[in-house]
Amino acid sequence: MVFEYAPAPESRAVVDIRASYGLFVNGEFTEGHGEPFKSVNPADESVLADIARADESDVDRAVRAARTAFDKVWGPMPGRERAKYLYRIARLVQERSRELAVLESIDNGKPIRESRDVDVPLVAAWFFYYAGWADKLGHAGFGPDPKPVGVAGQVIPWNFPLLMLAWKIAPALACGNTVVLKPAETTPLTALLFADICRQAELPPGVVNIVTGAGETGRALVAHEGIDKVAFTGSTEVGRQIARTLAGTGRKLTLELGGKAANIVYEDAALDQAVEGIVNGIFFNQGHVCCAGSRLLVQESVAGEVLERLKARMATLRVGDPLDKNTDIGAINSAAQLARIEELSQAGEREGADRWSPPCELPSQGFWFAPTIFTGVAQSHRIAREEIFGPVLSVLTFRTPDEAVTKANNTPYGLSAGIWTEKGSRILWTAQRLRAGVVWANTFNKFDPASPFGGYKESGFGREGGRHGLEAYLNA
- Kindly list the catalytic residues: 256, 290
Measured in degrees and rounded to the nearest 5, phi and psi for residue 238 equal: -65, -35
Chosen residue from 97, 235, 326, 409 binding another protein by CB under 8 A? 326
CB of 272 to another protein, least distance (A): 5
Question: Given candidates 277, 293, 391, 460, which one binds another protein under the rule CB under 8 A?
Answer: 277
Torsion sign over Cα 161, 409, 351, 278: negative
Among 19, 35, 225, 316, binds another protein (CB under 8 A): 316
Binding residue (CB under 8 A) for another protein from 54, 170, 221, 269: 269
Identify the residue among 44, 268, 351, 403 touching another protein (CB under 8 A). Answer: 268
Minimal CA–CA distance to 75: which of 9, 190, 172, 160?
172
How wide is the angle at C-alpha 149 spanned by C-alphas 143 and 153, nearest 5°?
A: 145
Q: Which stretch binds another protein (CB under 8 A): 102-110, 177-185, 287-295, 299-307?
A: 299-307
Could you say whether residue 60 binds another protein (CB under 8 A)? no
CA–CA separation, 283 vs 281, rounded Å? 6
Q: Which of 59, 83, 137, 302 binds another protein (CB under 8 A)?
A: 302
Among 270, 336, 428, 450, binds another protein (CB under 8 A): 270
* Number of helices and strands in the chain (H, E): 15, 20
Closer Cβ to another protein, 196 or 268, answer by number: 268
DSSP class per residue in 5-44: PPP-BPPSTT----SEE-EEETTEEE--SEEEEEEE-TTT
Instruction: Compute the distance between CA of residue 135 and CA of residue 203 in angstroms, rounded to an integer.
Output: 17
- Cβ closer to another protein: 6 or 13? 6
* From candidates 442, 447, 461, 475, binder to another protein by CB under 8 A: 442
95, 237, 272, 354: residue in contact with another protein (rule CB under 8 A): 272
d(CA 93, CA 334): 26
- Measured from the CB atom, is 67 or 113 closer to another protein? 113
Count of residues touching another protein (by CB under 8 A)? 30
What residues numbered 76-135 form the site for another protein, per CB under 8 A?
A: 113, 117
Regarding 196 and contact with another protein (CB under 8 A), the answer is no
Applying CB under 8 A, among 17, 271, 360, 431 the residue interacting with another protein is: 271
Q: What is the C-alpha end-to-end distance of the chain, expressed in Å?
A: 64
**Considering only 24-32, 156-164, 258-266, 298-306, which stretch makes contact with another protein by CB under 8 A?**
298-306
Q: How far is the CB of 277 from another protein (least distance, A)?
A: 7
Asked if residues 406 and 414 have their Cβ atoms less than 8 Å apart, the reply is no
- Taking the complex as a whole, the smallest distance from the CB of residue 258 to another protein amounts, in Å, to 27
C-alpha torsion 149→151→153→156, nearest 10: 80
Q: Nearest approach, Cβ of 297 to another protein (angstroms)?
A: 18
Q: Give the residue with the Cβ less far from another protein, 55 or 276.
A: 276
Helix axes 120-133, 79-95, angle to 10 degrees: 170
- In 3-state terms the chain splits into helix, strand, coil percentages (rounded to 5) of 40, 20, 40
Task: Give the torsion through C-alpha atoms of 457, 462, 463, 468, to 10 deg.
Answer: 130
Element (H, E) at 430: helix 424-433
Q: What's the closest the beta carbon of residue 6 comes to another protein, in angstroms?
A: 4
Positions 399 through 428 that interact with another protein (CB under 8 A): 422
Tell me if 19 contacts another protein by CB under 8 A: no
For another protein, the closer of residues 409 and 442 by Cβ is 442
Name which of 56 and 276 has its Cβ closer to another protein.
276
Using CB under 8 A as the binding rule, whether residue 14 contacts another protein is answered as no
Cα→Cα distances 158→22, 29, 102, 138, 234, Å: 19, 22, 16, 34, 9
R_g over Cα of the chain: 22
Q: Please, is 441 exposed, middle or buried when counting C-beta atoms within 10 Å of its C-beta (0-12, 13-18, 19+)?
A: middle
Judged by CB, which is closer to another protein: 416, or 445?
A: 445
Q: Which one, 4 or 16, has the nearer CB to another protein? A: 4
Residue 442 DSSP symbol: S
Contact call for residue 13 and another protein (CB under 8 A): no
As measured in angstroms, the least distance from the Cβ of 325 to another protein is 4
| CA neighbor of 306 nearest in space, from 273, 275, 342 | 275
Closer CB to another protein, 368 or 440, in the complex: 440
Of 52, 59, 30, give the one whose Cα is nearest residue 218: 59
| Residue 225 touches another protein, criterion: CB under 8 A | no
Q: Which stretch binds another protein (CB under 8 A): 54-62, 159-167, 263-271, 450-458?
A: 263-271
- How far, in whole angstroms, is CA 41 from its chain's centroid? 19
Q: Which of 97, 241, 443, 451 binds another protein (CB under 8 A)?
A: 443
Strands (E), 429-471: 438-441, 460-461
Footprint of another protein (CB under 8 A)? 1-8, 113, 117, 268-274, 276-277, 301-302, 304-305, 308, 316, 325-326, 422, 442-443
